[in-house]
């Protein structure tokens, strides 16, 4: 991938991220369209650029306090929500984002939110980190992935995930487009053996979206 392609893709991702303004807006379970949340919502301030993000008070149909008080939840995930940790290009970020594929269904929504939030604030070197865990989550839990994408009626969440996966998700940019697409479809189909025809079609479309973008940035 040449430097110009990297710059253009990061610019595309960045364009969907909320810019600092008088309003406090942020990606979350119900506010992907950028609608200002209630004033009582907690706020996360990016120490790198001063952008302000309203945080959700519930995730996965549970109050955030459920996760913050849960001893099974990683301290890193709690630290992200409480503004004590800012994802950047380091091993702690890799460790945090990898948690999105945990088998623990009870706390997985919180880790998924951590991944989604990191995708939303990604720019520069951080853009290299969320793609692989995002693809891993999508291929490991296909139905859950599409359900989560559908919660955002604007389609902005899907576009962010597609762009970041295409940028830093696939393991090899030397792989033929058709081979990369087949690998994604096969992985998702394996983890969704009883998927409906509608989901199977969405799997194929998702794989096409990712690999088409990937091919354009080789």
- 34-38, 148-152, 154-158: the lowest-pLDDT one: 34-38
Contact 59, 73 (CB under 8 A): no
> Among the listed ranges 37-51, 149-163, 173-187, which one has the minimum average pLDDT value?
37-51
CB 92 within 8 A of CB 76: yes
Q: Find the mean pLDDT for residues 120-149.
A: 94
Res 110 pLDDT > 90:
yes
Task: Look up the pTM and report it.
Answer: 0.81
User: Average model confidence (pLDDT) for the chain?
Assistant: 83
Question: Which one, of 12, 9, 17, lies nearest residue 214 by Cα?
Answer: 9
- Torsion of the alpha carbons at 74, 127, 20 and 75, rounded to the nearest 10: 10
Q: Where are the domains of the chain?
A: 3-216
**Structure confidence at residue 212 as a pLDDT band (50, 70, 90):** confident
- 178-189 mean pLDDT: 92
Mean pLDDT of 168-189: 80
* Backbone dihedral angles phi then psi of residue 54, each to the nearest 5 degrees: -75, 135
Q: Which pLDDT score is estimated for 39?
A: 56
Supply φ then ψ for residue 164, to 5 degrees. -70, -35
Percentage of residues of the chain with pLDDT beyond 70? 76
- Confidence bin at 71 (pLDDT 50/70/90): very high
How far apart, in whole angstroms, are the C-alpha atoms of residue 110 and residue 123? Answer: 22
pLDDT at position 23 = 44
Rounded Cα gap, residues 138 and 12, in angstroms:
21
User: In the structure encoding, which two tokens stand for residue 194, read together?
Assistant: 């009883």
């Amino acid at each position: 991938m040449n430097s110009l392609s990297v710059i253009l893709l990061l610019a595309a991702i960045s364009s969907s991220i909320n810019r600092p303004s008088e309003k406090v807006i942020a990606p979350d379970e119900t506010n992907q369209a950028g609608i200002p949340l209630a004033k009582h919502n907690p706020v996360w301030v990016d120490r790198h650029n001063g952008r302000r993000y309203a945080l959700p008070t519930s995730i996965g149909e549970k109050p955030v306090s459920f996760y913050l008080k849960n001893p099974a939840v990683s301290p890193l995930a709690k630290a992200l929500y409480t503004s004590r940790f800012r994802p950047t290009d380091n091993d702690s970020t890799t460790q945090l984002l990898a948690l999105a594929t945990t088998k623990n269904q009870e706390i997985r929504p919180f880790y998924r939110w951590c991944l989604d939030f990191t995708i939303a604030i990604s720019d520069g070197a951080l853009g290299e980190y969320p793609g692989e865990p995002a693809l891993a989550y999508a291929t490991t839990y296909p139905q859950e992935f599409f359900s989560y994408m559908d919660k955002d009626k604007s389609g902005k969440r899907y576009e962010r995930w597609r762009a970041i996966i295409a940028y830093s998700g696939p393991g090899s940019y030397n792989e033929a487009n058709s081979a990369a697409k087949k690998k994604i479809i096969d992985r998702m189909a394996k983890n969704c053996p009883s998927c409906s025809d509608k989901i199977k079609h969405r799997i194929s479309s998702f794989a096409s979206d990712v690999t088409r973008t990937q091919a354009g940035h080789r």
